[in-house]
Amino acid sequence: MRVYVLNGPNLGRLGTRQVDVYGVTSYADLVASCQAVGRDWGLDVEVRQTDAESEMLGWLHAAADEEAAVVLNPGAWSHYSYAVRDACALLRGPLVEVHISNIHAREEFRHHSVVSAVATGVICGLGVDGYRLALIHLAQRLAGTSGPVPPTGG
C-alpha cells in the first residue's frame, strides 16, 4: 500500500525553526519515523519535502494518478493555496492533512485551511506524532479495518 508523506514550505527546517512551536525533532528524524511506522504497519511510505509549490502540485498529481494515499502537511500553503487545494481534490486515495502545531490556537490567518474541505481527515496540534497517527489511520483504512491492526514488524 503506497502512501506519500508530503511536506510543504519550511518543513525541511524542523528542529531548528521555531522549536517552541514545532519542537526539536529534525526533518531527518521525521523521515526515519514515518518510514519506520510504514514498515511496522505494512505501508510503502515515501516522504518528500519541497519549498516549491509547482513541485508539490506535481507530486499530488502523481499520487492522484496512482490512486495512492497521502499524508500532507501543506505548511503555509494550507491557508491560501487554491492550487494545492485543487490538486488535493483530484486525489482518489484518502488524504490526511497534518499540522504539527494547533493552527486554531495561532495567528488568525492560520485558523482556516483551504485544504481541509477536501481532506479525509485533519490532525493538528499533536506535534510530529500526528504523522504517526495519520499513517496508522491509513493502514487501518486501507486494510479495511476500523480497530487496531497488529504491526507487521518490530
* 100 assigned binding-site residue: yes
Cα–Cα distance between 74 and 50 in angstroms, integer?
A: 10
The annotation status of 79 as a binding-site residue, yes or no, is yes
Query: Among all chains, which residue has been given the C-alpha cell 480497530?
Result: 147
Exactly one of 4, 27, 99, 137 is catalytic; name it: 99
Nearest CA to 101 out of 79, 86, 68 is that of: 79
Q: Which of 22, 27, 131, 137 is catalytic?
A: 22
Active site residue 22: yes
Q: Is 26 annotated as a binding residue?
A: no
Exposure of 123 by Cβ count < 10 A (0-12 exposed, 13-18 middle, 19+ buried)?
A: buried
What is the dihedral angle through the alpha carbons of 138, 141, 144, 150, rounded to the nearest 10 degrees?
A: 50
**Residue numbering of the annotated binding site:** 73, 79, 86, 100-101, 110
Residues tagged active-site: 22, 99
Binding-site residue numbers for substrate are 73, 79, 86, 100-101, 110
